[in-house]
Amino acid sequence: MKMSHMFGTTMRQAPSEAETASHQLLVRAGFIRQLGAGIYSLMPMGKRSIDKIENIMRAEMNVIGGQELFMPVVHPADLWQETGRWYQIGDEMSRFKDRKDHDMVLAMTHEEVVADLARREVQSYKQLPMLVYHIQTKWRDDPRPRAGLIRVREFTMKDSYSLDADEAGLDVQYRAHYQAYFNIFRRAGLPVISVGADVGMMGGSLAHEYMYLTPVGEDTLVLCDACGYRANRQIARFRKDTPAAEEAAALEKVPTPGVSTIEALANFLNVPKSKTAKAVFMTATFKGDEGDSQKLVFAVVRGDMEVNETKLTNAIKAAELRPAHEDEIRAIGAAPGYASPIGLQGALIVVDDLVESSANLVAGANEDGFHYLNTNYGRDYKADVVADIVAVDDGYGCVNCGQPVRTSRGVEVGNIFKLGTRYSASLGANFLDAEGAERPVVMGSYGIGSGRMLACIAEEHNDDKGLIWPITTAPYEVHLVSLRGGEAIAAQLYEDLYAAGLDVLFDDRDESPGVKFNDADLIGLPIRLTVSERSLQAGGVEFKLRREADRSVVPQAEAVRATVDAVGALLAEIEAGITPVPFED
C-alpha cells in the first residue's frame, strides 16, 4: 500500500477525550475513528490488524474442530423470551419492533440462536460432539463506554458454541478452548492470565475469564502468588477465620451523636472496626413474567469489610442493584448512618456469613444519634439470606493456602462458559441418546472480542514515540520509507518485497524525513526499511526493527532476503511462546 493514496491520516495530537495510551495511539496512527459514544469505524490499517487477529482465532478454532457459520445480528424476541433472558436483562439489551409489530432484539450474544439451530439440526447422539463458531457484530448499550475500543457499545466478537451429549463431552471441549484461547492471545502478542469468573447473565456452572493485566482495566483480580489462586474479585473468596467464641451480652442502646460512619463509630467507642456491623442499602430489580419488581435490600457485613455487589446480586438472584435513596431507607423505619435490621420489616435482609458467627457487634439503633452495643445474629434479628457477600481485599488470606493475596487491575479479553442445558432445555434442543431417550444438548459458550484485543495489544506494545506491533497483528510487516535520492530504487524494492509475499506499507509521500520517520514510529510496523541517497552511499538499504534502537545497512541485492528472514525470525519468536497451559478450574 502506498501512503500517498492511503485512506486515513496520522495525527500529531490525540483527541482530548482519549485518556488511555491505546485510545490515543490508535486514533493518532489512523487505525480508528469515533462515530458516536462507544461506536467506532475501523480505518484500513485497523481493519487489516483486526483481520489478522480474527484469522488467528479461525486457525485455532479449526484446530479443535470448529465449523464456521454466520448468524444474524437481529433476532426475534421469541427466542429470548423462551430462555427468559428477555425478562432478566435490563437496558443493555436493545429492543425494537419491526413493521409487523413483532418484538426484535439486537444481538448481545448468540446462545439462543445456536440452541434454536440445534433443535432443528441435531436429532441423535451420533451427531455429537459438534463445535460451531462465527465472527459477528454484537450490540450492548453500555451506559459508560470508555477507553476507545476497550469498552464500547458495538463490537465484533468471535463466539463459539460446543454441543455435547453429556457433561464429560462438555468438559473435553471446554478444556480444548481453555488451551486454544491461550494460543490465540500468545500468537497475537498479548500476555494474559485466566481467572475464575462469575457466570453472570450467561448462566451455567463454570466460567473463566482471560485477563490482560493493566492499570487501565476495570476489573479487579485477586491473585495469590503463593499457590496460584486467581479469581475475578466479583466471585473471589478468602479464608474467613472463625471469630473467638463469646457469650452473648445484653443489648444496650447508647448515644452516638454525629457518628454516622464506621470509622467515626470505631473511634468514638474505642472498638476495632471488626467489632461493628456495617449496613448497606441497595434497591434490587427482579425480572419476571409479570414484569419488573423492586425491593429494598438491607445487607449487613462486618465493619472492616466491604459488600461485593456481584456476590450480593447472585445471593438474592436479582437482575440489577443500585444504591438505595434516603427516602427508600427511611420508609422502612431505618435511619441512614444508624441502621440495623433489628425490628425492621419491609426489606430483604442479607447477612454475610462472618456476621452470623460474630458475637456482640455494634450496630445502628435505627434512630439518628444512637447505636446498639452487643447485637447478635439469631437472637436480635434474622436474615432472609445468609451468604458470603464480602469483597476480597489486599492482604486477606487466600481461600486455598491462607497466604496474603494481592489485587490487580485487568481487562477481560475473553471468556469461556459451561452452559450445560440452560438454553437447550428452554428451547427444546433435544436429541435421542443410545437408549432412545430424549435428552437436552449440553452446551458451552466461548467468546473473544477482536476490537478489545486490538486495543489491549496497543496498550501493551508502545513507547513514547508510538505503537510497536507484534509481527502477527501488525497491519503491514514492513514500513518502506523513500527519501530523496532513493526514490527509484525504493519503488523497485516495493515491488520486489510484494513479490516475495510480504505486506508492505510504502511511504512514497513528498514529505520531510522527520515527518516520515515520526509517522513510521507512530504507526509502529515491526520492520522499517529506508532508501535514501545516504543509505545508498553507505552500501544499500537501512534496516531497523521498530522495537530496537540499532540500525544497520544491508546491500541492496540482499534487502529482500534479509527482510524475509527477519519476518521469519519474528514469527518463530512468537511461535516459541505457544506452550501447553495446565488447566485450573
Contacts of 63-67 with C-beta under 8 Å, sequence gap 24+, read 63/180, 64/131, 64/173, 64/176, 64/177, 64/180, 65/129, 65/131, 65/176, 66/131, 66/132, 66/133, 66/160, 67/130, 67/131, 67/132, 67/133
CATH number of the domain located at residue range(s) 19-203+419-459 in this protein? 3.30.930.10
Q: Give residue-wise pLDDT tens across range 311-321.
A: 999 999 998 89
Q: Name the band, by pLDDT with cuts 50, 70 and 90, for residue 202.
A: low
Q: What is the pLDDT of residue 14?
A: 86
Residue 376 has pLDDT above 90, yes or no: yes
Residue 421 has, within 13 A of its CA and on its CB side, a CA count of 13
At the top level of CATH, the class of 476-575 is alpha beta
Q: Which fold has domain 252-387?
A: YbaK protein (3.90.960)
Q: Give residue-wise pLDDT tens across range 384-393.
A: 999 999 999 9
Interacting residues of 439 by C-beta distance below 8 A, sequence separation 6+: 165, 430, 431, 432, 433
Q: Name the band, by pLDDT with cuts 50, 70 and 90, for residue 201.
A: low
**Which helix (H) or strand (E) element contains residue 167?**
helix 167-187
DSSP state of 165: S
Q: Which bin fits 485, alpha (ψ -120 to 50), beta or left (φ > 0)? A: left
Enumerate the domain spans of the chain: 19-203+419-459, 252-387, 476-575
Residue 584 has pLDDT above 90, yes or no: no
Q: What is the pLDDT of residue 19?
A: 87
Q: Give residue-wise pLDDT tens across range 541-575.
A: 999 999 999 999 999 999 999 999 999 999 999 99
Q: Give residue-wise pLDDT tens across range 490-526.
A: 999 999 999 999 999 999 999 999 999 999 999 999 9
SS3 annotation, 176-241: HHHHHHHHHHHHCCCCCEEEECCCHHHCCCEEEEEEEECCCCCEEEEECCCCCCEEECCCCCECCC
Residue 5 has pLDDT above 90, yes or no: yes
Cα–Cα distance for residue pair 96/86, rounded to 1 Å:
12
Q: Which residue has the cell 445502628?
A: 364
Exposure string over 32-62, b if 16+ CB within 10 A, otherwise e: bebeeebebebbebbebbbebbbebbbebbe
Q: Give residue-wise pLDDT tens across range 162-200.
A: 999 999 999 999 999 999 999 999 999 999 999 988 887
Residue 411's beta-bridge partner residues? 212
Q: Give residue-wise pLDDT tens across range 252-276.
A: 999 999 999 999 999 999 999 999 9
Q: What is the pLDDT of residue 287?
A: 77
Average pLDDT over residues 12-37: 94
Cα–Cα distance for residue pair 225/232, rounded to 1 Å:
15
Q: Give residue-wise pLDDT tens across range 454-478.
A: 999 999 999 999 999 999 999 999 9
DSSP state of 2: B
Residue 89 has pLDDT above 90, yes or no: no
Q: How many CB atoms lie within 10 A of CB 252?
A: 12
**Which helix (H) or strand (E) element contains residue 269?**
helix 262-269
Q: How many CB atoms lie within 10 A of CB 290?
A: 7
Average pLDDT over residues 50-73: 98
